[in-house]
Chains A and B, each alone.
Chain A
Amino acid sequence: EIVLTQSPATLSLSPGERATLSCRASQSVSSYLAWYQQKPGQAPRLLIYDASNRATGIPARFSGSGSGTDFTLTISSLEPEDFAVYYCQQRSNWIFTFGPGTKVDIK
């Protein structure tokens, strides 16, 4: 089973700053790498699928990149509503796994 590791665990930034979140896989994954945002009391929301494709309605300030074992979610300029927990997720051989999450909080 592929294990996903996310870093940092917490990212403290101010509105307007750039956020760079990392997701590393224990072995190479296919292109099935997704990113989700979750706010307290809400269901997760899909941001990025296939490593770099934005889901419907997701603002352009969110971008995904990477391949193999190293993936990155970048938020180019943080808006107040972007402070949340972010999870990466992969699918390999019909086993899905989530990373432990990165919390982006207000500095």
Chain B
Amino acid sequence: EVQLVQSGAEVKKPGESLKISCKGSGYSFPNYWIGWVRQMPGKGLEWMGIIYPGDSDTRYSPSFQGQVTISADKSISTAYLQWSSLKASDTAIYYCARAGLGGPGAFDYWGQGILVTVSS
């Protein structure tokens, strides 16, 4: 069974750094792109970026380029999303998702989401 299990909820202060994780299982992790999606409170879905764990090829949304870093460690089947200096506006739910279908153009499996709260 394909699963993406994300790390737990985080509460941080502005200016702090953070790295959240997404562990894949039940499939060949290096061979499928993993994307990250933000959902701010009460809002829609925003694509942040995507990584191919096999060679760490990474693409970013222009809106998030330079704001976050996406990485992966294929040896432990885990992808990461990190911030060096959080802002209150980073408060959101962050999902990882496998891009496994359509080219890949579609996210067929999703993690459960991580609520990140940034507040002083």
Contacts and interface: CB of A to CB of B under 8 A. Distances in A.
Interface of A: 1, 30-34, 36, 38, 43-46, 49-50, 53, 55-56, 87, 89-91, 94-101
A106 to B, nearest CB: 19
B59 A95 contact: yes
A45 B45 contact: no
Interface in B1-50: 35, 37, 44-47, 50
Contacts of B37: 44, 98
14 contacts: A30-B105, A31-B102, A33-B105, A34-B106, A36-B45, A44-B45, A46-B108, A49-B108, A55-B101, A56-B108, A89-B45, A95-B61, A97-B47, A98-B44
B53 interface: no
Contact of B108 (A55, A91, A95): A55
B105 A50 contact: yes
A80 B35 CA distance: 31
Interface in B66-120: 95, 97, 101-108, 110-113
Nearest to A55: B108
A56 to B, nearest CB: 8
Interface of B: 35, 37, 44-47, 50, 59, 61-62, 95, 97, 101-108, 110-113
